[in-house]
Structure 1
Amino acid sequence: MDEDVTAVTAGLVCAHHHLYSSLARGMPPPPKVPANFLEILENVWWRLDTALDLDMIEWSAKLGALDALEAGTTAIIDHHESPRAIEGSLSVIADAVNEVGVRINTNYGITDRHGVDGAARGLAENDRYLTELAAAGASQSGLRTGMVGVHAAFTCSDDSLAAAADLAARHGVGVHIHVAEGPDDIGVEDRIRDLTRDEWLLIHGVHLPTDHGLRGTIVHNPRSNMNNSVGYADPARFSNRVALGTDGIGADMLAEFQLAYVKQRDQDVSATPDAAWSWMASGWELFPEALADSVTWSYSTIEPWHVAFTPTIRAIDVDINGEPALRDGVATRVDADEVRAKAAEQAVRLHRALES
């Protein structure tokens, strides 16, 4: 192979991210060791999202976007929650990600965990942001879009689920919702089946029956599912389109593809890299603007049978929306050292809040 030859592809898409979790690295241990998935939520993620303020959200989003850019991911579909800093949070995220140069689709994940008023405020933030996007119109150039978010059905009343579906329909977008991730959400398909539409993103689907009858794209997050010990989704069994996300553990989609493949093969010796590659490629159907972006890689052949067995493939140059965003592995629109330093400062604030 000629080492001087490099491959060029479209920008990659992370079909499910939690940018607010970018500051979680190095966070203090939870007050008790979680024994199951619900305790992971209660003792880790629900404590973290409650501690967030708008400054933390801004720098967490910038750090997550920078990580994505350096991995050749030019479009992120984000799912956000910050119950003490709801109003304006989606615009803060969009501004921060776009400043790095990356495309963003974000939403606020409503929940009744903080009462009816909390759910209503989450819906209002989705409505405000989507209205803001509609007013901006074509000037956004595909750099920011949105959906309506739902945390998970088991944390929402039927009325809240119906309200989210209605708001999404009024704005002509889909709903982005965690579905059957853990055993606490088993049977969710019966609650949302009549609400779902083709534009919906159904995240995880680990405990969905194969014949669930839900409309929408199922987003597989193998690294997160393994980390949370919730089981294997076996996404090849679904007739729905399947896409690939990270659930907040970075946005390196080539690495996520590699893990998706080896996890599938661990369950089925006949599996090849092609299925997992098709899941990653589905991101372009969800965020087609990324097809106009350009990534030059450190390796000569970006295709499933090469990437599955080739470690540390890096993005060298990235152009987004026709403008340079990465050159020789270095971000061109922001100072990467400053982003990481400012994010570290906010992480210290966040971790202190968690300790208290």
Structure 2
Amino acid sequence: MIAASLGRMKRRGFFGQAPDPEPEAPAPAPNAKAVSTIAQPGGAETASNPASATPRRQGGSTPGLVSAHHRLYASLARGLPAPRVTPRTFSDLLKNVIWPIENALDSPMIEAAAQLSALEALEAGCTTVIDHHASPRAIEGSLTLIAKACTSVGVRVVCSYAASDLRSADNARLGLEESRRFIQSGGRGMIGIDSSATASPETIDLAIGMANELGVGIHAKVAEGIGDAGGGSDLVRRSKDSWVLAHGVHLPDGLEIAGTIAHCPRSNMDRGVGYGMPSRFGPRVALGTDGFGGDLLAEFRVAYGRLRERNVGTSPRLPWSWLEAGWLLVPEARQDRVHWSLADIEPEHLVSNTGIRPLTVIVAGRTVLENGRTTQIDAAEIRAKAAEQSRRLISRL
């Protein structure tokens, strides 16, 4: 079934765009409407070996890493004062920390957060982020702000607005329309659903219909908390090859999944939701950071540690394959190059070497990081701007 699914994704293009041949001319800008394709099963590439046709590790270099599930706005939320009520459960954390942050966001904050998050991703060798955004009081135009901010740094981004009925059904519709507007205006995106716990059945139906109409996938959180186990499973049963399904912690065994599970172990640990044992989902697993910066190698190490916690014989090549799965989602990232400070880029070396950093990063044919420094923007200026917007965010909470 997986092979057949991958074949359909190849023919259609992952985000609803028809496959293009390899470019002969200079590569396009990072967030141009270029296509994403999935490798044809039975050839050199497969779901379990997603990039064997492209050298994955050449000396001290790799392709650009991909964060399969990100929350770019989270970079402004560091160092926030403790909530008035100490969270005891995941539900408490949502109500007293996460949702208030999202409700406080405005356009200047969204832009500054996206730039800072893109910068930190680039500095960690991540050249592509698949973002799942939410700002209920600043929906219109938010995805365009995010895309422009990432492009200014030199990082690819796939945008979606996480539609939710938490505020109202009308607010959910605005979120869906923002994703539609962004995609129809030429942006690279998906239709976002926050989760089945926060989106009504009507909103979910509208989102799926819109995704089908536009020929793109759904990006949603599923079964992150135990309260979404039933609804998340129902949503997964409707999934298609082009969907990105974040977390899946409380999905039952044996559930047929058509999309890709985005495993975010650091976020799952921080929120106390448990461990999803993503290896049970087969090869359709990729790694995301869910707003914990853009360091995919850190995510890889934690994913490895959680696997070894249960089976000391687990090889680091399993969580490394989850990093490689990001190249199935956005194949252009395989053509990006990251030259690292470590000569031997092998999973066995990376699990215990925490000092590795990118020296040079090339995205879409452009050198966007050289000698560890950004070439398109002033990193200090971005950090100063983000610090100012973070103070504004804190003042609203």
Q: Normalised by the shorter chain, which TM-score bucket?
A: over 0.9
User: Who is 1:291 aligned against?
Assistant: 334
C-alpha displacement of 1:212: 1.8
**1:267 and 2:320 equivalent?**
no
1:22-57 Cα offsets, whole Å, 9 max, x none, are 101111211211000011111111000000000000
Question: What letter corresponds to residue 255 of structure 1 in structure 2?
Answer: A
Contact 1:218 1:240 in 2 (8 A): no
Distance in structure 2 (CA, Å) of the matches to 1:249 and 1:233: 18
**1:321 and 2:374 equivalent?**
no
C-alpha displacement of 1:190: 4.7
User: Who is 2:182 aligned against?
Assistant: 129
Contact 1:16 1:246 in 2 (8 A): yes
TM-score, scaled to structure 1:
0.93
C-alpha displacement of 1:233: 0.7
C-alpha displacement of 1:189: 4.3
User: Who is 1:169 aligned against?
Assistant: 212
Q: CA RMSD in A?
A: 1.2
Distance in structure 1 (CA, Å) of the matches to 2:304 and 2:283: 18
Q: Secondary structure at the match of 2:197?
A: helix
Instruction: Give ranges in structure 1 of 5+ residues lacking alignment.
Output: 134-143
Question: What letter corresponds to residue 67 of structure 2 in structure 1?
Answer: C
C-alpha displacement of 1:159: 1.0
User: Who is 1:237 aligned against?
Assistant: 280
**1:79 and 2:132 equivalent?**
yes
C-alpha displacement of 1:309: 1.9
Contact 1:162 1:195 in 2 (8 A): no
Q: Secondary structure at the match of 1:28?
A: coil
Alignment of 1:1-356 (within 5 A): 7-133=60-186, 145-239=188-282, 241-354=284-397
Distance in structure 2 (CA, Å) of the matches to 1:234 and 1:307: 21
Distance in structure 2 (CA, Å) of the matches to 1:319 and 1:273: 26
C-alpha displacement of 1:289: 1.0
Q: Tell me: CA distance 1:193–1:328, structure 2 relative to 1, closer, same or farther (3 Å).
A: closer
Distance in structure 2 (CA, Å) of the matches to 1:168 and 1:239: 25
Question: What letter corresponds to residue 377 of structure 2 in structure 1?
Answer: V
The structure with the greater share of residues assigned to helix is 1
1:116-136 Cα offsets, whole Å, 9 max, x none, are 100110011011001011xxx
Distance in structure 2 (CA, Å) of the matches to 1:6 and 1:298: 11
Question: What letter corresponds to residue 70 of structure 1 in structure 2?
Answer: E
Question: What letter corresponds to residue 157 of structure 1 in structure 2?
Answer: S
TM-score, scaled to structure 2:
0.84
C-alpha displacement of 1:195: 2.6
Instruction: Give ranges in structure 2 of 5+ residues lacking alignment.
Output: 1-57
Contact 1:189 1:212 in 2 (8 A): no
1:317-340 Cα offsets, whole Å, 9 max, x none, are 011110110011111100000000
C-alpha displacement of 1:294: 1.0
Count of residues paired in the alignment: 340
Q: Secondary structure at the match of 1:272?
A: coil
C-alpha displacement of 1:272: 1.3
Distance in structure 2 (CA, Å) of the matches to 1:347 and 1:42: 20
Q: Secondary structure at the match of 2:286?
A: strand
Q: Secondary structure at the match of 1:42?
A: helix
Question: What letter corresponds to residue 293 of structure 1 in structure 2?
Answer: D
